[in-house]
Structure 1
């Protein structure tokens, strides 16, 4: 009888090691990030961070969006982050290089990996600095996602062992994609900030 238990245990161990864990499935990167899918504007739906101080910064924003724009070389992309906070808009521009399932910032030690998501008009992005998770964002072409997609994002954040996601208020207005003619309405920077 003892031999049967040993055989069952060995079989169970081999099967348990063969199947990927739930977190491995949730954190699986996209095979290839496609610029044509990324191109354009994406609204921030929710965000999760490793540092609680960054969470407070995220909560202070009324809305946020990212914009991908390209030129003839689709591996070199213009990446603009636009934040609305206290009735003003901030524009932060960087150049990025697409690489496999993500992209890198040309002048920063930040790597972004796009993870698989069940949301067809979403992109889940993991921002790492020195191979440590710093931020995890869910962007969408629309301002809201369904309950299933949000639960998936929450589970992904839990697998990354970072804060519970903060969900942006979809009723808050997004800043325009481009800076208006009035310089007092916007702040522009060539760097990435929290």
Structure 2
């Protein structure tokens, strides 16, 4: 068993060598995304994060994640600018039970943190070595319970093995369950719902 652990550590070490900025501990793996500049918060992040993002992988601490696997396997996020300077409009498109559901939320942005006005969703962006990815660490309320998730989204539908391994380590650092990896998606008709 110990030999297996040593082999696994060696493999993870080799995978990290392929990244431009290898990270080796949980502090650096879960470091908040740094927003720089003196412009208002939305101005600083809006150009980088507007548009469509595909869910590539996610981990959620729900008691049974089978429903979440069904939902997020065919899910993507679209981010638009709102008229208010510190607001973004996030639309999450999900396929669930062969029907489409669109969740809309107006998010207030402060530095690398965002939240909706009802307190149902709060999150922050974490640093990732993936150049066209967004890593969101969320706390959200669904019914009477609260959950945490770490979602890896990308402009691409798939990421490299090294990028995925970095994400898996980040999941471990945050004590979340093993992640689910994105499956196939088909186009379907969507209905709207709002979180506001």
TM range, normalised to the smaller chain? 0.7 to 0.9
| Structure-2 residue corresponding to 1:58 | 68
Q: Does 1:89 align with 2:100?
A: yes
**1:157: which partner in 2?**
171
Equivalent residue number for residue 79 of structure 2:
68
Whole-Å separation in 1 of the counterparts to 2:132 and 2:187: 18
Contact 2:140 2:148 in 1 (8 A): yes
Superposition deviation, residue 108 in structure 1? 1.9
CA deviation profile, 1:87-119 (whole Å, cap 9, x unmatched):
321101010011111211111243211000000
- CA distance in structure 2 between the partners assigned to 1:186 and 1:71 by the alignment: 22
The Cα offsets for residues 105-162 of structure 1, whole Å up to 9 and x where unpaired, read as 11124321100000011001000259x8611100001100000110010000000001
Q: 1:74 to 1:43 in 2, by over 3 A?
A: farther
Aligned equivalents of 1:144, 1:97: Cα separation in 2: 29
Aligned to 1:78: 89
Task: Say whether the 8 Å CA contact 2:54–2:153 is kept in structure 1.
Answer: yes
| 1:174 to partner: Cα distance | 5.3
> Gapped runs of 5+ residues in structure 1?
1-19, 176-184
Q: How has the CA–CA distance of structure 1 residues 138 and 186 changed in structure 2, closer, same or farther, with 3 Å as cutoff?
A: same
Structure 2 alignment gaps of length 5 or more: 1-22, 36-43
CA 1:133/1:115 → structure 2, altered by over 3 Å: closer, same or farther? farther
* CA shift for structure 1 position 73: 3.1
**Is the alpha carbon distance of 1:190 and 1:120 closer, same or farther for their aligned partners in structure 2, counting shifts above 3 Å?**
same
Aligned residues: 161
Tell me which residue corresponds to 2:181.
167
Indicate the RMSD between aligned Cα atoms, in angstroms: 2.2
TM-score, length basis structure 2: 0.75
Higher gyration radius (CA): 1
Deviates more, 1:23-32 or 1:86-95: 86-95
Distance 1:72 1:51 in 2: 34
Distance 1:133 1:94 in 2: 17
Give the distance between the partners of 1:117 and 1:107, measured in 2 at CA. Answer: 28
